[in-house]
Amino acid sequence: MFTVRIQAQDFDAAAEAAALARGRTDIGAVVTFAGLCRAQDAPGGAPLIALTLEHYPGMAEEEIGRLMEQARARWPLVGATVIHRYGRMVPGDNIVLVVTASAHRAAAFEAAEFLMDWLKTRAPFWKMEERDDGKGWVAAKDEDDAAAERWA
């Protein structure tokens, strides 16, 4: 099964991975990646109080769905789940989940990394950071573009 969900509420990574494999005997590998809200970006920097994620409703689901189609065309996946949250999150909270399932581990690992790398540069989400000294939009990172481009 292939699923994309955009939601405000939290997710349970273990439950999502179990749901993907439940009742099947053709899956030999499940890779689960969870991205969390982190308090500190650099040593000595002002700690993060919260992140607020804005998204483009409709396009967010569709764009991640298109990335999932590309992953399926490239690797023999038997299932995948991507969940991306929006709204306000504090350090320790879940932000994004990618679960991939395949007969063998290489496809599951690579597809999960591919989905995360492309999601960061193509899924329409924007992070607003809240720190002691104020609020500001997170700038896109060149290293995220480079991570995505290596799959091209």
Partner 1 sequence: MKVLYFAWVRERIGLEAEEIDLPQGVATVAELAAFLGARGEGYARAFENPRIVRAALDRRHAKPDTPLGAAREIAFFPPMTGG
Q: Report the interface residues with partner 1, using CB under 8 A.
A: 35, 53-56, 58-59, 62-63, 84, 95-96, 116, 119-128, 137-141, 144
Instruction: Tell me how far, at minimum, the Cβ of 10 lies from partner 1, in Å.
Output: 17
Query: Distance (Å, rounded) from C-alpha 143 to C-alpha 9?
Result: 29
Instruction: Tell me how far, at minimum, the Cβ of 150 lies from partner 1, in Å.
Output: 16
Q: How does DSSP assign 74-91, residue by residue?
A: HS-EEEEEEEEE-EEE-T
Query: Distance (Å, rounded) from C-alpha 84 to C-alpha 69?
Result: 17
Neighbours of 36 (CB within 10 A): 12
- Comparing CB distances to partner 1, the nearer of 45 and 58 is 58
Instruction: Tell me how far, at minimum, the Cβ of 9 lies from partner 1, in Å.
Output: 17
Instruction: Tell me how far, at minimum, the Cβ of 126 lies from partner 1, in Å.
Output: 4
- Comparing CB distances to partner 1, the nearer of 44 and 57 is 57
Q: Give the sheet arrangement for strand 77-85, strand by strand.
A: 2-7, 77-85, 94-102, 29-36
- Comparing CB distances to partner 1, the nearer of 74 and 122 is 122
